[in-house]
Structure 1
Amino acid sequence: MAIYESEHTKFMREWLAKHPQEIDEQRKGRALWWDKPQDVVSQARLDQSKVPVKAYYYDINH
């Protein structure tokens, strides 16, 4: 454990200890916004369709 713990971290740790049902809500929110299933075929198609960007976008000579 770290030597320093911020006031916010202490508050959240105590609050979650008093409200354990919120841990499930956190997991649901994370699954909704962040934990998405990965599709390898679609990702490969997106990677292949990328167009290279010039080093200097406004250079008309290259």
Structure 2
Amino acid sequence: MKFSKQFSLYESEATLFLNSLKANNQKLEQGQREGRALLWDKAPIDLDTQRRAEESRINQQAYVYQNKG
């Protein structure tokens, strides 16, 4: 959605704060990328290992604390 020319140069206080924070701390963005890589970017899953894990899974009863007779 395109705003009029009046709003094209507007930057919110949050955007101004983040831009100044990144300008003052050069290592901040690199630290964010390293944190993302640590928590979110995962190595590809081996299909054979995934298949073996699914085959070895044991079904659990609906209510774990109740014994079946």
TM-score category (smaller protein)? 0.5 to 0.7
Dislocated runs of 4+, deviation >4 Å: none
Tell me by how many angstroms 1:20 deviates: 4.3
Gaps of 5+ in 1: 1-6
Residue by residue over 1:7-52, the C-alpha shift from the partner in whole angstroms, topping out at 9 and shown as x without a partner, is 8xx2862423x23432122112221232121222222221221111
Counterpart pick for 2:62 among 40, 55, 58 = 55
Gaps of 5+ in 2: 1-12
1:13 aligns with 2:4: no
1:25 aligns with 2:25: no
RMSD after superposition:
2.7
Bigger relative contact order, structure 1 or 2, given CA contacts below 8 A and separation 6+? 1
Distance in 1 between residues matched to 2:58 and 2:28, nearest whole Å: 44
